[in-house]
């Protein structure tokens, strides 16, 4: 009798404790909703590397990750804009996007502008990364470069400049491919490099302020360069629909030279997806453009503090090391802040020269020009 009473008491106490712990636990953990529509290497990296590391350091947060690659980021942003007017929870704290690609969101004033007060590590971000937009925090960079199979190409034939590459492509028809400029940055930045080529190899000409006359002046010339190599591109001018299809053609040996993102190429070599004989090169005259990827926070995010803490951690040397180590990206902070071993290991890609294409209104025009003149190979002047 007495014993059973104690047992009941113990059980009740145990239950209360359990409930209490769960209750406190649930109160303590606040959710950060993170969205990314990046390629698989990026979304895998977020899910399997970044989030566990962040949650280990900040146990008070739970990061809820959503891969928005299939549906795109537009619906999420539209929902956040709608929530901004209605005062509802937008259900999103951090997005792996550049707000400049979403005009309606800028018009609606959706984005929180990161400041050093809220996000102290922002102070360490290098100029090249911060000058792009005040609406989001740049957190990793990558650059497009040329990957080639050293088994199939003689050392002395390897082009060193963009002009030499064009010559090489024409001399080796079917051996080079880049993807459609709007379907993958490895193709997009190849096309933009052609624009740099005809505008005096001076990226400073292209500032974020849109200037129609520059587009009118240089785009047709750049398109003419690309038209010239059109029939020498893989399979008489077949442009795959993305970065990965290009890498696959290269991996199968169907082509021997491609334009590729630095991070995807390095990761591909490390994982054995690309042949061991794969080598990467950057033009000696002017590198191909790259870009910085941003984390954007809607100003109506329910967990604004959590979003700020997440971005702040991402910009810490710990977070930035994961960028370099795991996905072969460039850090947004100075290389000096990372460990010497890392700097040593990635010696071949460390560069301070990452021309950044301004994007914005130039992009639709350039994409359109490419589709209508290069892909169809129709002379714009005819």
Partner 1 sequence: MTASQTEPAPHSKSRFSTVLPYLLVAPPILMVFGLIFFPALQSTLRTLTDAETGAFSLARYEMFFADKTSVTSLIFTIQIALESLLGLFVICFPLALYLRFNTSRIATGVQMISLLPMFVPGIMSAYALIRFVRGRGLFETLIYQVSPLLADAYYSPYVKPEGIVIGLIWEAIPFTVLILLAGLRQLDNGLIESAQDIGANRWYIFTRIILPLMRRSILIAFCLNFISMFGAYTIPYLLGPAAPQTMGVLMQRTLQDYQQPLEAETQAVITFLICSLVGLVYVQSVSGERVRKG
Q: Which residue, among 93, 29, 91, has the nearest Cα to 61 in the 3D structure?
A: 29
Shortest CB 239 distance to partner 1, Å: 4
Instruction: Summarize as ranges the residues that interact with partner 1 (CB under 8 A).
Output: 72, 74, 103, 180, 182, 235, 238-241, 245, 248-249, 252-254, 363-364, 367-368, 371-372, 375-376
Indicate the residue among 187 and 290 with the shorter CB distance to partner 1. 187
Indicate the residue among 126 and 233 with the shorter CB distance to partner 1. 233
Indicate the residue among 156 and 276 with the shorter CB distance to partner 1. 276
Shortest CB 382 distance to partner 1, Å: 11
Indicate the residue among 69 and 79 with the shorter CB distance to partner 1. 69
Largest CA distance in the chain: 102
Alpha helices in the chain (DSSP H): 2-28, 40-45, 51-57, 74-86, 103-107, 127-130, 162-171, 185-198, 212-230, 234-237, 243-251, 262-271, 304-314, 317-327, 340-345, 362-369
**Residue 236 structure tokens:** 């008489």
Indicate the residue among 245 and 317 with the shorter CB distance to partner 1. 245
Shortest CB 298 distance to partner 1, Å: 20
In Å, how far are 59, 134, 136, 140 from 317, measured between CA atoms?
Answer: 19, 22, 19, 12
SS3 256: coil
Strand partners, 280: 147
- Counting Cα atoms < 13 Å in the Cβ hemisphere of 176 gives 25
Indicate the residue among 50 and 233 with the shorter CB distance to partner 1. 233
Shortest CB 117 distance to partner 1, Å: 34
Shortest CB 86 distance to partner 1, Å: 21
Indicate the residue among 113 and 372 with the shorter CB distance to partner 1. 372
Shortest CB 182 distance to partner 1, Å: 4
Q: Which residue, among 20, 14, 29, 40, has the nearest Cα to 247 in the 3D structure?
A: 40
Q: Which residue, among 312, 307, 311, 299, has the nearest Cα to 89 in the 3D structure?
A: 299
Shortest CB 378 distance to partner 1, Å: 8
Compute how many other C-beta atoms are within 10 angstroms of the C-beta atom of residue 247. Answer: 25
Shortest CB 364 distance to partner 1, Å: 4
Q: Which long-range contacts (CB under 8 A, 24 or more apart) does 333-341 make?
A: 333/121, 333/124, 333/125, 333/126, 334/124, 334/126, 337/124
Indicate the residue among 180 and 192 with the shorter CB distance to partner 1. 180
What CA dihedral angle connects 164, 167, 173 and 175, to 10 degrees?
0
């Amino acid at each position: 009798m007495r014993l059973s009473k104690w047992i009941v008491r113990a059980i009740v106490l145990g239950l209360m404790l359990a409930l209490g712990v769960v209750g406190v636990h649930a109160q303590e953990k606040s959710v950060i909703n993170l969205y990314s529509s990046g390629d698989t290497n990026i979304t895998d990296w977020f899910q399997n590397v970044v989030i566990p590391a962040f949650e280990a350091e900040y146990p008070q947060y739970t990061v809820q990750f959503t891969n928005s690659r299939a549906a795109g980021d537009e619906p999420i942003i539209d929902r956040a804009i709608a929530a901004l007017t209605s005062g509802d929870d937008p259900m999103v704290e951090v997005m792996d996007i550049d707000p400049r690609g979403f005009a309606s969101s800028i018009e609606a004033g959706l984005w929180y502008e990161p400041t050093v007060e809220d996000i102290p590590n922002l102070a360490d971000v290098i100029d090249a990364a911060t000058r792009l937009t005040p609406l989001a925090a740049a957190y990793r960079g990558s650059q497009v470069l040329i990957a080639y199979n050293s088994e199939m190409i003689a050392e002395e034939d390897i082009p060193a400049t963009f002009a030499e590459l064009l010559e090489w492509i024409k001399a080796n028809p079917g051996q080079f491919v880049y993807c459609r400029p709007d379907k993958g940055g490895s193709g997009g930045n190849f096309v933009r490099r052609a624009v740099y080529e005809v505008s005096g190899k001076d990226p400073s000409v292209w500032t974020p302020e849109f200037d129609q006359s520059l587009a009118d002046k240089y785009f047709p010339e750049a398109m003419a360069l690309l038209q010239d190599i059109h029939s020498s591109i893989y399979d008489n001018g077949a442009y795959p629909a993305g970065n990965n299809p290009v890498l696959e053609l290269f991996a199968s040996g169907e082509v021997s030279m491609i334009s590729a993102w630095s991070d995807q190429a390095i990761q591909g070599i490390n994982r054995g997806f690309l042949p061991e004989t794969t080598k990467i090169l950057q033009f000696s005259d002017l590198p191909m453009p790259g870009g910085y990827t941003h984390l954007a926070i809607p100003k109506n995010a329910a967990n604004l503090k959590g979003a700020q803490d997440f971005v702040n951690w991402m910009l810490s040397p710990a977070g930035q090391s994961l960028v370099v180590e795991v996905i072969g990206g460039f850090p947004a902070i100075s290389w000096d802040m990372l460990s010497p071993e890392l700097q040593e290991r990635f010696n071949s890609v460390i560069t301070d020269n990452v021309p950044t294409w301004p994007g914005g209104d130039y992009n639709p025009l350039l994409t359109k020009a490419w589709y209508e003149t290069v892909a169809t190979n129709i002379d714009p002047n005819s």
